[in-house]
Amino acid sequence: MSLRNCLRKTHLQKTHRAVVNNFFQCRFYAASAKPATPAQKPTVQPKSSCPADTVLPGLNYLKNQPPVLALPDEEYPPWLWTVLLPKELEDDGPGGRKERMERRKENKQRIRERNFMSTQ
Amino acid sequence: MSKTAKAKDQVVRLLISAGKAAPTPPVGPALGARGVKSMDFCKEFNARTAHIESGVPTPTLITIRPDRTFSFITKTPPTSYLLKKVAGIDKGPAKPGHEILATISLKHVHEIAKIKATDDHMSHLSLENIARMVVGTARTVGIQVVP
């Protein structure tokens, strides 16, 4: 009996709930709309340790080929600067490629750990 | 990787210096054992690699048909060779993956990837993926890649 009394909501709790629900049913007008910025990957500023017009030795392996020179940073494709970072896969949803790749990665890691533990 | 069945083509993979075929140890026994006249192969190989600088290791895939005629394909130099040339090192590390012998820029990687992309067996890969493969190879050769 007393337990049920405890579980029954007090008047204060009910009014609070009503206020909160009402709050979410009210409409608000934003004071100022934020400029809609699409979610951008952090743009990597190309800043190569290799200045333009450096000779790249050994890459002119054909006869009578002029020496290969490094170009200025801007002339290289943007993906080049992210090649050292792990590859970011697009989120395809539940059955998508990203989930499959991550699952394979986890499985491989699990096998590696299991093999290692079997040697311990 | 040679197959032993008589009716099938045999495939021989060799790494030969461009323009310098016909040394007995690598080429001679490998082909002679399968019934191919090594002099014929060497002449044709040297003719086909005449446009390549002498001495550059060239992977070749030789297909030997049951009637002892052959055909071969040449590919771009090995990535590890190109990396070592670009970095200026001669030999790889004693412990691959644990030592760093030289440093390379991403621009070098891009140029190497461009060379490798001309290969037939890389034709389905994007240049970005080939560049990632080159970076992976650089790790085993003891070369650090920096932007």
Residues of B in contact with A78 (CB under 8 A): none
Tell me the pLDDT tens digit for each residue of A91-115: 888 888 899 999 999 999 999 999 9
CA of B33, closest CA in chain A: separation in Å? Answer: 32
Alpha carbon distances (Å) from B9 to A24, B12, B29, B37, B125: 76, 10, 18, 16, 28
The DSSP string of B98-132 is T---EEEEHHHHHHHHHHHTTSGGGTTS-HHHHHH
pLDDT digit string, tens, across residues B134-146:
999 999 999 999 8
Give dist(CA B39, CA A62) in Å, integer: 24
* pLDDT at residue A34, as a whole number: 45
Give the span between the Cα atoms of B123 and A100, in whole angstroms. 25
Cα A73 to Cα A80: distance, rounded to the nearest angstrom: 10
Residues of chain B with pLDDT under 50: none
To the nearest whole angstrom, how far is the Cα of B28 from the nearest Cα of chain A?
Answer: 26
Q: Which residue of B lies nearest to A44 if distances are taken between CA atoms?
A: B147
pLDDT of residue A58: 81
Chain-chain contact of A59 with B112 (C-beta, under 8 angstroms):
yes
Q: What is the token pair recorded at A62?
A: 């054909």
A77 lies within 8 A of chain B by CB: yes
Q: What is the ipTM of this complex?
A: 0.70
Contacts of B108 in chain A (CB under 8 A): 50, 56, 59, 70
Here the tokens at position A118 are: 């079997």
* Closest chain A residue by Cα to residue B147: A48
Q: What does the pLDDT read at residue A107? A: 97
Task: Kindly determine whether residue B51 and residue A62, on different chains, have CB atoms separated by under 8 Å.
Answer: yes
Extract the residue ranges of chain A whose pLDDT is less than 70: 1-46
Please say whether the beta carbons of B58 and B77 come within 8 A: yes
What is the overall mean pLDDT for chain B? 87
Terminal CA-CA length for chain B = 39
- Chain A residues inside the 8 Å CB shell of B82: 58-59, 61
Residues of B in contact with A66 (CB under 8 A): none
Chain B: residue nearest A46 by CA? Answer: B147
Q: Tell me the two tokens of residue A103.
A: 């699952």
